[in-house]
Amino acid sequence: MTTIPTTDQDVLNQSFTAAADFLELANHCDRFAENLIDCDDTTEKLALLGRIGACLALLRPTLNDPIPDHLIDCLTTKTLPAPQSHFEPDSEALCDYCLTLAQVLCQQSFLPETEKTLRGLLCELVWMFAADLKAPRWVSVKLPQ
């Protein structure tokens, strides 16, 4: 009998290394969280939590590094998005929150309802963190001639 890989298994097979840039790692975090939010399989949940934790652990020490030149164009826009006045921790704190939640959820010591709520919180925080990392930082301007 042939096993057809599920989306979770496909996502879990995606590789990343410490050489990946922060945008690649943010995209991986996004995909892992998208699969985690509705995952019912304990083994897959733990694997996704582990992958999120690994991505976050690679991202954390690089958050204050200069942005590589090859990424500047994709982080430049004609107009910056309007600032959000919601919960706005700095990227280091947000990464730490996500990493801690992922580690806590791996312990599997919660009632199912509590675990589901914490998993949802983790996914929302990961999405917020990834969106912040991928947000434009510069505005392109046309200089007068």
As a whole number of angstroms, the longest Cα–Cα distance in the chain is 69
Q: What is the mean pLDDT of residues 41-59?
A: 97
DSSP assignment of 83-129, as one string?
A: PP-S----HHHHHHHHHHHHHHHHT--S-HHHHHHHHHHHHHHHHHH
| pLDDT, tens only, 62-87 | 999 999 999 999 999 998 888 776 78
Structure confidence at residue 145 (pLDDT): 77
Structure confidence at residue 1 (pLDDT): 42
CA–CA separation, 8 and 129 (whole Å): 21
pTM above 0.75, yes or no: yes
Both tokens assigned to 9: 């298994």
Q: Does 3 have pLDDT greater than 50?
A: no
CA–CA separation, 48 and 44 (whole Å): 6
Domain boundaries defined on the chain:
9-71, 89-135
